Amino acid sequence: MTQLAVESSGLSKRFGRQFAVNGIDLAVPQGSVYGFLGPNGSGKTTTIRMLLGLIQPTAGSHRLLGEGMPVAAGRVLPKVGALVEGPAFHPYLSGRHNLARLDAADRWADPRSAARRVDAALDRVGLLAAATKRYRAYSLGMRQRLALAATLLTPRELLILDEPTNGLDPQGTREVRSLITTLAADGATVMLSTHLLSEVEQICTHVGVMHQGNLVAQASLRELQAGSVQGVQVLTDQPEPAQRVLRELGLTDVQISRDQVTATLGSLAPEKVVDALVHAGVPVRGFTVQAPDLEELFVSLTGKGFNING
Amino acid sequence: MADLAISATLPKPRPVSGRFLASELLLIFGRRRNWAGMAVLAAMPVIVSVANKIDPPTGGGGEGPDFFSAITSNGLFVALAALSIELPLFLPLAVATIAGDSIAGEANLGTLRYLLSVPVHRTRMLVVKFTAIVIFAFAATLLVAGTGVLMGTVLFGGGDLTLLSGTQISFGEGLLRLFAVCVYLAVCLSAVGAIGLFVSTLTEQPIGATIAIMILTVGSFILDNIPQLDWLHPYLLVHNWLNFGDLLRDPVAWDGISTGLLSAGAYILVFVTAAWARFSARDVTS
């Protein structure tokens, strides 16, 4: 059995009468990049705050890196880097001084290497040139980078990142995603909360979906995609013969429109389909195998749209 | 098993680290707003001494120890006069600003969640924050006294001085007694700081916390001046503050001083404990 970096059972948080998080059983395997997906207000941040011991669960329990929280917080959290609900720093201190302050608060950090580690972290997120600038003069993207740098001050086994690409331009987004991939390749487990489906598709190995405080789905990305149905799309100016060929091959749900034919692939290899089409003399202008995107998967998994509600 | 190997590679935490406290002090004493506040504190002895140089006083009056009539006789009295002027408002306000900021300021900026997930244990956080407040209370008091001594000796000279009880003491002993006054007042102000620490755990608005502390302090000055409430007076935060004059008698009237220290100690104990009870279980949602 794989070890779990984050594990919860029945974790719940009630604010007043409303359950912000309703009995979720998280299972984040060690070494995975876990996409913690859900619309705004679905309980992601509340969950992350509970995981870090910032708020107390109403019910349920959880473990980080195999140790029970919040009892083991002093032992576990030094190995956990966290970005929670956006960056927050002292506005009148420079980026470098802000990181130095966080490092000074860390009893586990070695003071002798502090200056070097702070600069290395700044360098890793591309902020070294702006190290002496006051935080208040930072753009949103720079602030986000500084918060990421704070998680890199010491080597971490688990990174819990709440919307790390929020506010970044496309270039910054790419850099952060490649940074996360690098960190994961170095052996860290990354729990990445996001509402961007494309982000999950690009870098995650596992997915958990929150919806109105419930964890409505949780699986590896491969499992999710294997359980889904692939389709083919043939572009041609002679759709009728193409339709006939596809039917003869045993494809189902064959549909025809002006210059294309679509069908459900089933267990047939796509190259067999192309071969059959060409042999039948159908002029093929384009052929695509369509894996359903994550959004469709979620609709099929949860029966719900991906809209913000409550 | 894998966990054991991982834990072994993690360096041991230092049991006591002064780095967080140092960082806290850097934050307090490096902030421009606090420089401005300290400049105001230091301005009072300057104004008092210059005004008395230009237009020397003719007679005394008013509540509490009267240092004004003696100002021109010895520089040390400038320091004592400045302390007694700043005691009702400026000094408590300075401490209330720092104390109100302590937890609420971090909560307001959102830095609290990051400090706690470093992790900083909540008890340690309160210990460091309160220590910084106490250090600031001492620094503020010594700043007023120091500026007073400097201005006073420059404008009025030093030398032997006459105590409130009429005894003559040397300038050196005078300095020593002034230092004792500063320590006494700083302990009293630390009680304000303890209340501030507690109030600061209740809110995310540092200014609101500061205002609440000032209402308590000024309010208790007012209550202390209503004779019909004399049964309440011994329990009031500020009731014993002016006892610092007892350190300037010969022999020193220790009764008033020990009562004052005991009262301040009780306030500190109660409110630091309350802050801990509140903060250690609080949900941090900022």
Domain-by-domain residue ranges, chain A? 4-226, 231-290
CB B78 within 8 A of CB B152: yes
pLDDT value at position A248?
83
Report the amino acid identity of residue B178: L
Judge whether A4-226 and A231-290 match in fold. no
Contact status of B23 with chain A (Cβ, < 8 Å)? yes
How far is residue A207's CA from residue A223's CA, in Å, rounded to a whole number? 10
Q: What is the separation, in whole angstroms, between the first and last Cα of chain B?
A: 37
| A9-18, A145-154, A286-295, B188-197: least confidently modelled range | A286-295
Min CA distance, B202 vs chain A (Å)? Answer: 15
pLDDT for B163 equals 81
A92 touches chain B (CB under 8 A): yes
Q: Are A224 and A295 in contact (CB under 8 A)?
A: no
Q: Using a CB–CB cutoff of 8 Å, tell me whether B114 touches chain A.
A: yes
Cα dihedral A165, A170, A176, A181, rounded to 10, equals 110
- The residue of chain B nearest to residue A91, with distances taken between CA atoms, is B109
Q: Is the pLDDT at A7 greater than 80, yes or no?
A: yes
pLDDT recorded at residue B2? 40
Q: How far A293 CA lies from chain B's nearest CA (Å)?
A: 35
Contact call for residues A109 and A117 (beta carbons, < 8 A): yes
The answer to whether the CB of A155 falls within 8 A of the CB of A133 is: no
Q: How many whole angstroms separate alpha carbon B149 and alpha carbon B141?
A: 12
C-alpha of B168 from chain center: 30
Whether the predicted pLDDT of A120 surpasses 80: yes
| ipTM for this prediction | 0.84
Cis check for the bond before B251: say yes or no (omega within 30 of 0).
yes
**pLDDT of amino acid B3:** 41
Rg (CA), chain B: 22
Residues of A in contact with B20 (CB under 8 A): 104-105
| Cβ neighbours for A58, distance < 8 A, ≥ 6 positions apart | A12, A13, A14, A19
Extract the residue ranges of chain B whose pLDDT is less than 70. Answer: 1-11, 15, 58-66
Quote the pLDDT of residue B57: 72
User: By C-alpha distance, which of A59, A81, A57, A78 is closest to A67?
Assistant: A78
| B36-52 tens-digit pLDDT | 999 999 999 999 899 88
Q: From the list B11, B20, B281, which residue is nearest A108 (CB)?
A: B11
From the options 3.30.70.100, 3.20.20.70, 3.40.630.30, 1.10.357.10, give the CATH code of A231-290. 3.30.70.100
Chain B nearest-CA distance from A248, in A, is 55
CB-based contact A54 B285, cutoff 8 Å: yes
Decide if A262 contacts A232 (C-beta within 8 A): yes
Site of tokens 């927050």: A88
Contact flag A107-B13 (C-beta cutoff 8 Å):
yes
> Are B116 and A49 a contacting pair at CB < 8 A?
no
Q: What is the mean pLDDT of residues A81-91?
A: 93
Tell me if B82 sits within 8 A of B65, measured CB to CB.
no
Residue of A49, A66, A90 with shortest CB distance to B3: A66
- CA–CA gap between residue B188 and residue B243 (Å, rounded): 11
Q: What are phi and psi of A44, to 5 degrees?
A: -65, -50
Burial of B58 (0-12, 13-18, 19+ CB in 10 A): exposed
Distance of CA B17 to the CA centre of its chain: 24
What are the boundaries of each domain within chain B?
Answer: 18-279
The neighbour count for residue B119, using CB atoms within 10 Å, is 24
Q: Would strands A206-211 and A33-37 be described as parallel, antiparallel, or unpaired?
A: parallel
- For residue B8, the model assigns a pLDDT of 42
| Residues A55, B19: C-beta atoms closer than 8 Å | no
Residue A236 has pLDDT above 80, yes or no: yes
pLDDT per residue over A208-234, tens digit each? 988 888 888 888 888 777 666 677 888
Strand partners, A70: none
**CB within 8 Å: B284 and A55:** yes
Structure tokens at A307: 């809209």
Size of interface A-B (CB pairs under 8 A): 97
pLDDT at B1: 37
**Are A88 and B111 a contacting pair at CB < 8 A?**
yes
Cβ <8 Å between B111 and A157: no
Exposure of B79 by Cβ count < 10 A (0-12 exposed, 13-18 middle, 19+ buried)?
buried
pLDDT at A172 over 80: yes
**Confidence band, pLDDT 50/70/90 cuts, at residue A3:** confident
Q: What is the pLDDT of residue A300?
A: 61
At residue B182, φ and ψ (nearest 5 deg) are -60, -45
Largest CA distance in chain A: 75
The pair phi, psi for residue A125, each rounded to 5°, is -105, 10
**Helix residue ranges per DSSP H, A186-251:** 197-203, 221-226, 239-249
pLDDT at position A16, please?
86
Most B CBs within 10 A among A94, A107, A112, A136, hence the mutation to make, goes to A107
By Cβ distance, the residue of B31, B111, B285 closest to A89 is: B111
Residue A226 burial (CB count, 10 A):
9
Determine contact, residues A193/A206, Cβ cutoff 8 Å: no
Q: Class for domain A4-226, per CATH? A: alpha beta
If pLDDT is split at 50, 70 and 90, which confidence band does A254 have?
Answer: confident
d(CA A205, CA A57): 27
- What distance, in Å, lies between the first and last C-alpha atoms of chain A? 37
pLDDT at B5: 40
Which residues contact residue B179 at a Cβ distance below 8 angstroms, ignoring those fewer than 6 apart? Answer: B145
